[in-house]
Structure 1
Amino acid sequence: MSTEQHLPVIRPATGADLDDLQVLARRTIDARYRAFLGDEAVDRFIGSGASDAHVKNHLEAGGVRCLSLEGRIIGFSILDGSTIDLMMIDPDHHRRGLGRLLLGHAEETLLTRYTTIRLESFADNTSANSFYEACGWRHGDRLEGEGPTKVEYVKTARSD
């Protein structure tokens, strides 16, 4: 087996990836969001089908990128205009540099088209927020509204 098969690959998602992406999203939400959203909210969100619908709608619109390792999808990002709408890494693959790789790819993709890009995160998702800040994202507005409070992060293209 060549070493290239052990390297992560980022590629556009296809319709054939839908089930794997939805399972990954549900699994990640189940494993990582309970600490700050609570069991009831996570169970309600997953059970409502909202997560599945979100992934499907963006896949159909063409904004999903898969992160694969050895042929298996272990992460994905959803890009929507100048926004990184969603980014998930399989919980079994956290803390291995894969999130940084996927985020860097999303940034590079968007910063070729926009001078300022953004993402939102749950205000209480301290591990994700620390990650974004460590990757050079600047904390923006606090977004109050229906549901849990979110925070906006922004990044601007450097003009070197």
Structure 2
Amino acid sequence: MLIRPALAADHDELLAIWHRAVLATHDFLSAVDIDLLHRQVGELYLHAVALHVCVNENQRILGFIGLNESHVEMLFVDPDCHGQGVGSRLLDYARCRLGPLTVDVNEQNPAAHGFYRRYGFQDTGRSDTDGEGRPFPLIHMAYRRAAD
């Protein structure tokens, strides 16, 4: 696996990975919520962060991370690649370049919360709503491994 900055030509595939991953992991979202977020991700969010992709030897994108300085704004892995180390590789890449990271995780997504905890993040707080004021509680987390 190789990690590289995302290219403009990757945009459609990143949005497709986002969509497949959300369908596989965000069962608390309605179809209307997903449609709205899909438009926002494609039109706004992918353009507002520094994007890096993890690709295989055939240059197939397996997942991506979106960063705003040292805050992980998004981390999505193709569901076919879940459990294969793609998310951890992307976090390693970001942490090596930026140092300790922070992330907000949907409280209703316990698998993602568990993933970040296993990686070394610790809970630092909670919000009743997401960044847009929607009723999707967030758990705020920070990477706290002593070795960093």
TM-score (normalizing by structure 1): 0.80
Q: Find the aligned partners of 1:56 and 1:31 in 2 and give their Cα distance.
A: 24
Deviation of 1:144 (Å): 2.2
Larger Rg: 1
Segments of 5+ residues of structure 1 without an aligned counterpart are 1-7
User: Corresponding residue for 2:46?
Assistant: 55
- Counterpart of 1:94 in structure 2 is 82
Higher helix share: 1
Could you say what secondary structure the match of 1:132 adopts? Answer: helix
Q: Distance in 2 between matches of 1:85 and 1:158?
A: 23
Q: CA separation of 1:81/1:75 partners in 2, compared to 1, >3 Å: closer, same or farther? A: same
Aligned residues between the structures: 142
2:137 counterpart of 1:149: yes
1:157 Cα deviation (Å)? 6.9
What secondary structure does 1:18 align onto? helix
Q: 2:107 aligned with 1:123, yes or no?
A: yes
1:27 Cα deviation after fit:
2.0
- Cross-structure match for 1:4: none
How much does 1:37 deviate?
Answer: 2.4
Counterpart-to-counterpart distance in 2, 1:90 and 1:159: 30
2:145 and 2:120 map into 1 onto residues whose CA distance is 11
Distance in structure 2 (CA, Å) of the matches to 1:22 and 1:40:
17
The 5 Å alignment of 1:62-81 reads 63-69=50-56, 70-81=58-69
Unaligned runs of 5+ in 2: none
Instruction: Give the aligned residue type for 2:11.
Output: L
- The 8 Å contact of residues 139 and 151 in structure 1, kept in 2 or not, is answered as yes
Q: How does 1:9-20 map to 2 (within 5 A)?
A: 9-20=2-13
